[in-house]
Structure 1
Amino acid sequence: MSRLGPVITLAAGAVLAAGLGVASITATPAADTTTAATEDNPAAEGSAAKENTAQPSPSPAESEEKRIEKADYAGRVKGNGALIAISIRDGKAIGYFCDGTTESWFKGTQSADEVSLKGLGAGKVTAALGGGRAKGWVSVGGKKWSFVAPTAEKPSGLYRASAIVRGAQFRAGWIRVKNPNGGYTTVGAANEGGSPVPVPELNGEQPTAPLTVGDTTIYPKDVDGFIEEMQ
């Protein structure tokens, strides 16, 4: 399977990459208000030394604690009926947004209690992590929505499949979310040769069970099976 960058199946066409401009800012040094040490004020020297003592850098162990080894979130996007999933493995993160027609993949990193992902063009996901959920914003196609995605336990979560079907590259993605009153909601989208096609239905009991598309058998994978390919 080849690396898959972020995809929005709004229409087949060319992808334009946006440039990133960096603005330079010149900071004016703050005035030095440290009291000078004199023979009449010897205590000031000790005070100044204490204030200027550099704080120790975080140890490797502390840095490791900020990186999440494994986490999965899946939930509903407010305002448009879409689902969103975010998965983190050893600080690397991917995300997927899908409403059944429009889809977008994202990738990025997790740091401390937040995650930041980028997709096609201005597509973006930012979320705060904590309390067993990811809460934030997703931008797709120039529109922006909020979401709350609780921790996902299988069979909830993110799934993906890729294969050559009828001589063209076939790709599909699914998000599966548990309903508050029981059962699951699954939303997905697929494209073949860059054009949208009907997405096959995941096996409700075993989402990674093989599926048939045309005369080809495809094998959906959970996030552990493809996250490295997305980076």
Structure 2
Amino acid sequence: GTYKGRFLGSIGKCGTWSFDPNKTLTVGEGGIVFTDDEDLWFMMDCYHDHGHIHSKEHDRGQEGKFGLGVNYRLSELQGALGSVALDKMDAALSRMRATKKRILDAVKDTGIKERPMHDDEGDTASHLIFMLPSAEAALCFRSAAAQAGTQFSIISENTWHFAKHWKALEDMGEKDIFGIRAPSYAPETMEGTDAILSRAVMAGLNINMSGEEVERIVSSVRYG
């Protein structure tokens, strides 16, 4: 995805990309970090590989050690898969964007509202999200769409991507952590977010959707 022409992850001093199985670009697991700051790049290069100061002049066992590190290296096979996937990325995004546009154009006359977008042109189009007038309307829409053949989820119920459901985070709230007092992370502190996400219904899109699948989604949205 992009924002005003800049790739997501390239905004700021350091960026990260995940390559886990549920991402648009995946090699099965792992990820990358990148930066245009040479000093930061050097530290990241060392840290992700046990602290090794990588050298072309010395064997691995004779390399210096910058500091403590971890073992987060991708294999060369994963790197090769990623290179191939990256070459296909533009084509993949074009197909998903075309699919999403086809669906939105087909349901435009229903008056249903897509979620607000900060940059339509940069959208990866991996998901279809509509904003319903109320949480009750979202529940009704989900039920009706499911009867028509498409399963929509309500984003506020997502236990992985909504911090309201993170018990471990809630337990950290209002405690001193490294000398800093943490704010409260109790569910009631997220009522504003909850009010928005409880109205948001979502369905995933993929690269290889058939015309029949697209038409089923269109019919489900219209039925909902």
Is TM more than 0.5 here?
no
TM-score category by the smaller chain? under 0.3
User: Which of the pair is proportionally richer in strand?
Assistant: 1
Larger radius of gyration: 1
User: Which of the pair is proportionally richer in helix?
Assistant: 2
